[in-house]
A and B are shown apart, each in its own frame.
Chain A
Amino acid sequence: MFSRYLHCIDQSGLHSYLDAKGGLKPLADFPDSTNGATQFSIWLDGAHPGTHTLLVDLPDEGFQRDSIPFVSGADRQRLLTRKKGQIFAGSPFSTTISLGREKEGRRDERVLFTAITRTSVLDPWLLVLRQHNAPLAALYSVPLLTTPLVNALPAEASHTPHGLIISFSPGGIRQTYFENAALRFSRLSPAPDGDYIDWGEACLNETRKTLQYLTTQRWITRHQRLPVWLLLDPHDSGPILGQLTEAEQLDLHPVNLTTLVHQFESRTSTHSSNSLPLMMHLASRAKRGPQLAPERERHTFWLRQISLSIVGGAIAIASVLIGLTLYNHLSTRTLEQQRELLQTTNNQETQRYQQFLATLPQLPTNLETLRRITAGIDQLGAHRADPGNAFDIISHALDHYPDITVKLLDWQLSNPDQGSTTTILSAVLPLAAAADPGTSLQRIRALAAELNHTDAETSLLNLPFEMSPDKTLRSHSETSSKRPEFTLRLRLTKGSQP
C-alpha cells in the first residue's frame, strides 16, 4: 500500500533506494546541484506514495559532550533544546544521546549533543520533500547508528569500555569512537584515490590523527592501547591491515563486512569494503533511536502515522465486529441445522398423529364439547326428581291413619341442582275429632313424626287448633261444626326413601 524509501546523502548528491522485502533496491541518483533537486522533485511526482528516511554521510558533523542537571519530562526537553541551540546555533538538524549519569558529585546526566553543521547540503532535498508533502520518517547520520552497529560486532566490542570503528564508504574513511557501546565522536575524512584496497596508507594517517585527537582530549592516554574494528571485505583486509600494523597503539580486529551484512539478514549485496549499504540497512531498521530531523519537518509523517493508527484501530475494531458477525453467522447456521433436523422430527410426529386420528371415528365436535354434553345430560338425569318419592312416603304414613283424608298435595322441585323437593300436604280429620282437640293434635303430630322418620324434614304449617301464644284461639262452638283441617310441609333431599 505504502512504500518505504531510503535516501542516502553524501557529497556527491542524493541516492534513492526502495526499502523492499528483498533488501534495498537502488532507484535513482541525483547530483548535489540545483538540477539534482529538480530531478528529485520530478522523480518524487511519479513515485508511489510512501515514507522517506534520510541517511547522511557527510563530514560536516559536530559532537559535544556536556552534563546537565538531572531533570525529567518537559523541563529536560526544554533544557536540551536550549543547549542544542547554544552548541549548534543555526543548525536545526541536531539531537542528543543520553550517556547515563555521573557517578560522583551532583550525578548530573551526561549527554552527547550531535548535529549536521552544514545545513545547506540538506536544505534543497528537504525543500522538495516538503513541497510534495512527503512524510519524512527520520534523518540519520551514520554515527547515530553506532550503537546497533557495536551490538552487531563481536561480543568484546560491546563489552569494551571504548573502541574505534573504521569503515569505508564513497564519502571517505569514517572513524567512530565509542564508549560503552555509545557514540562519543566520529569523523569522516575525504576518500583517497584508488580502490578500497589501496586506502591502507591513508587510513593509517587518518587513524594517527584520530589517536592524537583522542589523546589531546584525554579520552585515552598516550600509550593506552585502543581496540579497533575494521569493517572490510576479506579481499581488501590483508593489504590494509598490513599498513595499519605500523600504528603500534592499535589492537586491530578485522570484521568481515559480508558476514556482518548477512548477520542483519539483509539481502543487500556487498562485494567491497563499502560499509554504506550496511549503514543504510541499519537506518531502514532503526525505530526509536535518536534522529536529526526537527519535528516540523516530520509533521506530515506524524499525521500519516496518526492516520494509520486511526485506520488501524478501526480495522482492529472492525475485525472484532466481523469476528462476532462470523460467530453469530456460525451460531445461526448451527441453529438452522438443528431446526432442519427438528422440522423432520416434527413432520414425522405430525404425520403419525394425523395417521392415528384417521383411525378414530369422526367426531361431530371436539371431545371436550362431547364430554360436556353427556356430562350435562347425566347431571340432569342424576338430579331429576318426581313426586313419586314424596307421594310414596306420604302414602305409607297415611296407611296408619285411615281417618285422615288428603285434600291437596302440592309437590315442587325446590332445588333443581340438588334434586330436593318440597311437598305441601293439606288434610282433614273426621268431624268427631273436632270435639277432642287434644287427641286431634296428638294424631296430627304423630303423623308428622311418622313422616319424619327418614331423611325427610317435616314441619307443621297450619293446625286446626291454634295453641301458640302468638295465634288467635277461637271458641269451641266456632270450630266444632267442620272437620279439623291441617297443613304440613315435607322436604326431601335427593335419595330419600319411603
Chain B
Amino acid sequence: MNGMPALADQIPRQLRFAILASILLLFLCAGLLWNSRLQLTQARTELTALRTATTEIQQRYQKALAETPEIRQTLARFTQLRQDGMIGTENRLDWANALRTISQSRHISKFEFTLGPQGRLEQFDTGGSFRFKTSPMQLNMHILHEGDLLRILSDLRNIPSAMILPRHCKLGELDSDINPGDARLLAECTLDWVTVEAPTDARPTSQP
C-alpha cells in the first residue's frame, strides 16, 4: 500500500492529469468497443438462430407436404381402430356378450372364461401417451371336435374391439364316460386381449 503514493509522487504533477485523462479515455473507448462487440455477437447469434428456425419451418413444411398422403391414410386407420374399440378403454361387457354369443352359436355345452386384470404390454412403445395394454383370459370349454376350437378361435379373431392372441391351447379327452352326441374333448386356452389405451386428455392436433 505504501508503494502507491510513492509511485504517484514520482509522476510530475503536470503529467498526472494527462495520464489520468488518457486512462479514462481509453477505458471509456474500450468499454464502448466491448459493448459493441457484445451487440455484434448477440446480433450474429440471433441471426443464426433465425436462419435455423427459418430452415426448420421450411423443412417441416416440405415434410408435411410429403407426408400428407400417409397422414390421411394413417389417420383413417386410426379412426377405424378407435371406432372398433381397439383404441380406447376396454369394454369388457361387450366382450362377455360376444363370448356368450359365440358359445351359443357354436352350441358349446360348457363355456367358461376368466378375464384377468389389464397390464401393460411393454413390447411396444408409442412414444406418446398412448399405451398398449393386454388382458389375459383363461378359456375352458367342452367341445365335440377340435374343429370347434378352431372355429371359436376364428370367431374371436373377428371381434373388432381387441387383438386376441392365443398363447396356449390344450386339447384332451374328457375323463368321464360320454354319451353319443355329448362333448368328448376338453379345450383349455390362454388368450391375450390386446388393446391400445388412449389418454383421457388426448386433444386433437394439427401438427404431424
Contacts and interface: CB of A to CB of B under 8 A. Distances in A.
Contacts of A412: 167-169
B98 interface: no
B14 interface: yes
A407 B170 CA distance: 11
Nearest to A321: B29
Q: Is the interface of A mostly helix, strand, loop or mixed?
A: helix
Contacts of A416: 123, 165, 167
Contact of A370 (B65, B74, B150, B173): B74
Nearest to A345: B54
A359 to B, nearest CB: 9
B129 interface: yes
Contacts of B22: 310-311, 313-314
Contacts of A357: 64, 206-208
B32 A322 contact: yes
A411 B15 CA distance: 105
Interface string A318-358: 10011011001101100110110011011001101100111
Interface string B87-106: 10000000000000000000
Interface string B125-149: 1111110100000000000001001
B107 to A, nearest CB: 20
Contact of A367 (B67, B125, B171): B67
Contacts of B57: 346, 349-350, 353
B14 A366 contact: no
B61 interface: yes
Nearest to A385: B166
A362 B163 contact: no
A373 B18 contact: no
A303 to B, nearest CB: 4
Interface residues of B, number: 83
A373 B126 contact: yes
Q: How large is the interface on A (under 10, 10 to 19, 20 to 34, 35 or more residues)?
A: 35 or more
B205 A335 contact: no
Given A369-B127, A369-B128, A384-B165, A377 B198 contact: no
B15 A310 contact: yes
Interface in A131-155: 133
B18 A328 contact: no
B168 A411 contact: yes
B33, B50, B74 — most chain A CB neighbours (10 Å):
B33
B54 A342 contact: yes
A339 B47 contact: yes
A373 B14 contact: no
Interface string A385-421: 1111001000100000000000111111100110000
A371 B124 CA distance: 12
A213 to B, nearest CB: 46
A439 B40 CA distance: 97
B172 interface: yes
Interface string B43-67: 1101100110110011011001101
B21 A364 contact: no
Contacts of A313: 22
Given A364-B203, A373-B126, A409-B170, 18 more contacts: A303-B15, A307-B18, A314-B21, A332-B40, A335-B43, A335-B44, A336-B43, A353-B60, A356-B64, A363-B204, A363-B206, A364-B198, A365-B128, A370-B75, A373-B78, A384-B157, A387-B166, A391-B146
7 closest residue pairs by CB, A with B:
A314-B22, A369-B128, A362-B204, A328-B36, A307-B18, A321-B29, A376-B124
Interface of B: 12, 14-15, 17-19, 21-23, 25-26, 28-30, 32-33, 35-37, 39-40, 43-44, 46-47, 50-51, 53-54, 57-58, 60-61, 64-65, 67-68, 70-72, 74-75, 77-78, 81-82, 86-87, 123-130, 132, 146, 149-150, 153-154, 157, 163, 165-173, 194, 196, 198, 202-208
15 contacts: A300-B14, A310-B19, A317-B29, A318-B29, A332-B36, A335-B47, A338-B47, A357-B208, A362-B204, A365-B129, A369-B129, A371-B74, A408-B171, A411-B171, A416-B167
